[in-house]
Amino acid sequence: MSAEIKEREPLFSAKNIKLLKNPLNFENPITVQVLGICSALAVTAKLEPAVVMSISVVFVAAISNVVISLLRNGIPPRIRIIVQLVVIASMVILVDQVLKAFVYDVSKQLSVFVGLIITNCIIMGRLEAFAMANKPWPSFLDGIGNGLGYGAILIIIAFFRELLGSGTIYGYHVVPESFFELGYKNNGLMILPPMALIVVGVIIWVQRYYTRELIEKN
């Protein structure tokens, strides 16, 4: 009995905090693991869908991590990928239904992209790599951390694409009219998906400049 209590670590032990923080930088799903690029291109032309997408991904990643972690000892390894997919798909459909019922405008904005969370490799990657082998609480933190790491990059990309592409931030005009009168033009290229990839590239570059550990040795 006493041994069990001794083993129990605090909810926010250093190890657990690391689970939350690492995906934001050292193990960022987009810039380091290069996962979830597809949706990073698709929903980042404007900030608002990027923000809602990030929140949805945080939710789905956290909950499916917990569910899989709870089931981990009973899942037959041969069908584990299918089980993971069923859990993710159920969560995503649930999120979609709730958005449609209570924040209809936002759900209209996101439309197909909520459904596409199912195909986001980050979530399945975390289930397979983490939740299958860890307890529910660390899995929950891992899901939140990775969702946030993904969301942070999404929001940075969307910020630059919306600012340079449309001259707005979160739908508000920020580039003053006088700029346009002087001949400034919104860069239409920023709205197109390839520019998201280039922005991701720039973020990776900047991140590695400040975090030298990430640079490959050879």
Q: Which residues bind other proteins (CB under 8 A)?
A: 42-43, 45-46, 49, 74-79, 82-83, 86-87, 89-90, 93-94, 97-98, 100-102, 104-105, 108-109, 111-113, 161, 165-166, 188, 191-192
Q: Name the minimum Å distance from CB 137 to other proteins.
A: 23
Cα–Cα distance for residue pair 35/218, rounded to 1 Å = 23
Number of neighbouring beta carbons within 10 Å of residue 64: 27
Task: Decide whether 42 or 118 has the Cβ nearer to other proteins.
Answer: 42
Residues 6+ apart with CB under 8 A from 56: 95, 99, 110, 114, 117
DSSP 190: G
Cα–Cα distance for residue pair 96/139, rounded to 1 Å = 23
Task: Decide whether 115 or 136 has the Cβ nearer to other proteins.
Answer: 115
Task: Decide whether 108 or 135 has the Cβ nearer to other proteins.
Answer: 108
Q: Name the minimum Å distance from CB 34 to other proteins.
A: 23
Task: Decide whether 79 or 197 has the Cβ nearer to other proteins.
Answer: 79
